[in-house]
Amino acid sequence: MLFQNARIENAEKTADFRVEDGKFLAFAEKLRPLEGEETVDLAGKLVLPPFIESHVHLDTCLTAGDPVWNMSGTLFEGIECWAKRKDKLSPEDIRQRVRQAVRLYARNGVQFIRSHVDVTDPKLTAMETMLELREELRDVMTIQIVAFPQEGILSYPNGKELLEEAVKMGADCVGAIPHYEFTREYSVESLNFALELAAENDRLVDVHCDEIDDEASRGLETVAARALELGLFDKVTASHTTAMHSYNNAYVLRLMRLLKMSRINFVCNPLVNTHLQGRIDTYPRRRGVTRVKELTAEGLNVSFGHDDIFDPWYPMGSGSLRDVVFLGLHVTQMMGYEEIMNSYKFITHNAARTLHLGESYGLEAGRPASFIVLDAENYYDALNRNAPVLASYKAGKLLSRTKPAEAELLF
């Protein structure tokens, strides 16, 4: 199958590419159709590698207002709402919501998801169900699962054993939540435990790290130090790191050296953290978003995630990562021309590094023919006009297509 006139990753000139047996066979400025070959004219539209959701909680998504709405919008009322919803949690309930969320993502060009799944549950119901769904949905969505100890590893009964069990069951990544542990000592011990567990079992690590406005929350330095000492490096990701927003600059200067040595990844969740952080401030009120601009400038890898979709903690979300990038650029003040043009990398290449997708991702001959077509000439234009994803192909198979809306002006 031959795709013609694609504008690949903001290129000024168009190019053609051929797909065979689910893989990219060749890219060139012009490729001649073979006899009887099916051709698709992309008419100069933007072609990108598929979007990647690098941080979401699929086990809680699509539960906002059920049974009660979060009236204040705070994290704490969100936890109360979830406690009421948790009674209804069953494998069938999770299956239905996750399938629906995956369809929302799919229509927006997302083909890879890293989902955190709560393992502070003696029955590990969500983990078991998510592992089944990972297999069921494999052809349409690649799902990576993080064993996420929502209520702590040391501060929850049998927290260590539950995390170990989740890894044995087949979780791809080990999580932790140092800022939620009872004490600073527990926080450090929980990180030692999680990173050692990952090293022993050859898993990735993704820590909910310092998601708090407390400038004294310093789980990140422990995550980075252990990543370095255990030789895990970029297998480790620190998600949120919102406390870094509040750190003093002298400390950040010292920390940055360690971060660079550790080569860990970062995931910033601008929608949820601008919404939930800074709630105890009067004015000025903190933005609650980690230092994306500075981390990027230092060569560290940062991606953007949605975090929550229409649940007790975040009442919005339609599975579009465009919204995440759009707000992310505003709140991190990354609105220079090149920054806007290249911002798709937060939800493509950078996220692929975090998820360790390797050669299963990217627009290159020999790799799976997974790509999306946007109704725009370049990503600046796509982002600005909220251009729809016209088509999403995964390993050569068309997963979704969208007809752009037509407006008629009557003046």
203: burial class by Cβ within 10 Å (0-12, 13-18, 19+)? buried
Q: Which stretch binds Fe ion (CB under 5 A): 81-89, 213-221, 257-265, 303-311?
A: 303-311
Is 231:198 a contact under the CB 8 Å cutoff? no
Q: Measured at CB, which residue is nearest to Fe ion?
A: 307
Q: Which stretch binds Fe ion (CB under 5 A): 132-140, 255-263, 301-309, 342-350?
A: 301-309
Q: What are phi and psi of 327, to 5 degrees?
A: -70, -40
State the nearest-atom distance from the C-beta of 250 to Fe ion, in Å: 29
Shortest CA distance to 107 belongs to which of 374, 408, 384?
374
Q: Can you read off the two tokens belonging to residue 216?
A: 């004294």
State the nearest-atom distance from the C-beta of 57 to Fe ion, in Å: 6
Q: Can you read off the two tokens belonging to residue 279?
A: 């709630």
Q: Which stretch binds Fe ion (CB under 5 A): 245-253, 273-281, 307-315, 323-331?
A: 307-315
Asked if 311 is part of the footprint of Fe ion (rule: CB under 5 A), the reply reads no
Q: What does R_g of the chain's alpha carbons equal in angstroms?
A: 21
Asked if 59 is part of the footprint of Fe ion (rule: CB under 5 A), the reply reads no
For the question of residue 20 being annotated catalytic, the response is: no
Question: Nearer Cβ to Fe ion, position 175 or 388?
Answer: 175
Q: Which element (helix H / strand E) includes 50?
A: none
Asked if 307 is part of the footprint of Fe ion (rule: CB under 5 A), the reply reads yes
Q: What are residue 206's DSSP bridge partners?
A: 237
Question: Nearer Cβ to Fe ion, position 172 or 307?
Answer: 307
Q: Among 35, 92, 211, 215, which one carries the catalytic annotation?
A: 211
State the nearest-atom distance from the C-beta of 132 to Fe ion, in Å: 22
State the nearest-atom distance from the C-beta of 101 to Fe ion, in Å: 15
Per-position b or e across 293-326, b if 16+ CB within 10 A of its CB: eebbeeebbbbbbbbbbbbbbbbebebbbbbbbb
State the nearest-atom distance from the C-beta of 1 to Fe ion, in Å: 39
Q: Which stretch binds Fe ion (CB under 5 A): 78-86, 184-192, 305-313, 364-372?
A: 305-313
Q: What is the DSSP letter of 222?
A: H
Residue positions annotated with a catalytic role = 211
Contact residues toward Fe ion (CB under 5 A) are 307
